[in-house]
Amino acid sequence: MKKQFGILIFLSLFVITGCNAKSVEKDTVLKLKVEPCSFDYDIENYYCKADKLDLYSKNVGNKANFNKNYTIIKINDGKYYRIVALNQKDLKVYPLKYQIDYKSKFDYSVNNDSLCVTGDFYAYRDDYSHSKLCFKVINGSFVKTNISENLPKINKESNLKKILIPNASNYFLKCLKSNSESKCEKLSDLENHVYSLNDVKNMSPEIYTILSQNKINHLNLDGVKFMPDIGGSQFVIGEKYHDTDNGSTTLFYLIKIKPKIEVYNLGESYAIDGKYNLSYKDSAGNNKNIKLN
């Protein structure tokens, strides 16, 4: 059962100008009422703690962005978002009981009385995953008005660009022989795209976890290129950039990430033909070949 009480707070705000200017004291009394201060099995009085009250007071007078008179305030609690609605007319604050995943999508407007969120929700015995929940403020509290559960997950990994086969380390130089630099940049983005590790982390946490394992992580890669899947195997080309006295150079690595991790140092150049035969030179200058399967 929710705690059906609020807290009445009177805050005096003082505005002090810079050291060399005359100090000006401005007394403004704000009357805030928070309903409720906390929920069952949550942090006691979470929504009425001093730092939260300070946050609400700083939002008083802001333009409403929800249901005509309300301002939605997102609170970052270190793990999730928490949401409150501040009524700019009567200064009442209505917390939403759920902790919400950072990646969730929020949908609300000043002309709509529904707040809808798509994502993951956490509350005592009331969790939702991959769901869309809509809420309205009714009789002094947020009330669920619509629930769509177990929505299909958006698979960002399927949007990863794969390099065009055949492919080689001198892709860009070969392109410049018959195209302008701007056209080669556009073609390279489509056919020879290099992802930073941060991009990989955002699009595929699973693959990022694999690349973070010690066998790969110690390479300190600057980027990776994804190859088309070959049967049950998945490969990437890792790139590590080096500055030398003679200019910059790139070291390449063939990395098999599925079904098991295998790493091959390809040196400064490689070529992959249309039948997925990869050729390179080892550190001694000997020609080497790998059949990708």
Which tens digit of pLDDT belongs to each residue from 126-154? Answer: 889 889 999 999 998 999 999 998 776 55
Q: What is the pLDDT of residue 81?
A: 94
Residue 19 has pLDDT above 70, yes or no: no
Q: What is the pLDDT of residue 245?
A: 80
Cis-peptide into 259, omega within 30 deg: yes
The residues that bridge with 250 in the sheet, in sequence order, are: 241
Q: How confident is the model at residue 160 (pLDDT cuts 50, 70, 90)?
A: confident
Q: What is the pLDDT of residue 156?
A: 60
DSSP 88: T
DSSP 84: E
Residue written as token pair 């990646």: 103
- Average pLDDT on 6-35 reads 43
**Least confidently predicted of 28-37, 210-219, 230-239:** 28-37
User: Following DSSP, what letter does each residue of 136-160 receive, concatenated?
Assistant: EEETTEEEEEEEE-SPPPP-GGGG-
Q: How confident is the model at residue 235 (pLDDT cuts 50, 70, 90)?
A: very high
Q: Specify the pairing of strand 29-34 against strand 92-95.
A: parallel
| Of 118, 170, 128, nearest in space to 279 by CA | 170
Q: Tell me which amino acid residue 62 is.
A: N
Residue 157 has pLDDT above 90, yes or no: no
Q: Report pTM.
A: 0.49
Question: What does the alpha-carbon distance between residue 108 and residue 104 come to, in Å, rounded to a whole number?
Answer: 13
Q: Which two tokens stand for residue 90?
A: 């009567």
Question: What does the alpha-carbon distance between residue 65 and residue 255 come to, in Å, rounded to a whole number?
Answer: 49
Element (H, E) at 31: strand 29-34
Dump pLDDT digits (tens) for 240-249. 998 878 778 9
Q: Which two tokens stand for residue 209?
A: 């976890």
Indicate the length of the chain as a whole number: 293
Dump pLDDT digits (tens) for 46-96. 999 999 999 999 999 999 999 999 999 999 988 899 999 999 999 999 999
Q: Under 8 Å CB-to-CB from 57, ≥6 apart: which residues?
A: 11, 13, 30, 32
Dump pLDDT digits (tens) for 250-280. 999 999 999 999 999 999 999 999 999 999 9
Q: What is the pLDDT of residue 24?
A: 24
CA angle (16, 9, 140) in 5-degree steps: 130
| Of 190, 187, 188, 134, nearest in space to 161 by CA | 190
Q: How confident is the model at residue 27 (pLDDT cuts 50, 70, 90)?
A: very low
| Of 33, 17, 127, nearest in space to 86 by CA | 33
Judge residue 23's burial from the number of C-beta atoms within 10 Å of its C-beta, 0-12 exposed, 13-18 middle, 19 or more buried.
exposed
Is there a contact between 88 and 60 (Cβ–Cβ < 8 Å)?
Answer: yes
Q: How confident is the model at residue 155 (pLDDT cuts 50, 70, 90)?
A: low
Q: What is the pLDDT of residue 30?
A: 61
Residue 26 has pLDDT above 70, yes or no: no
Q: What is the pLDDT of residue 124?
A: 86
Q: Residue 212 CB: number of other CB atoms within 10 A?
A: 12
Q: Tell me which amino acid residue 255 is.
A: I
Q: What is the pLDDT of residue 264?
A: 97
Residue 70's SS3 state is: strand
Dump pLDDT digits (tens) for 177-217. 999 999 999 999 989 999 999 999 888 888 999 999 999 99
Q: What is the pLDDT of residue 18?
A: 33
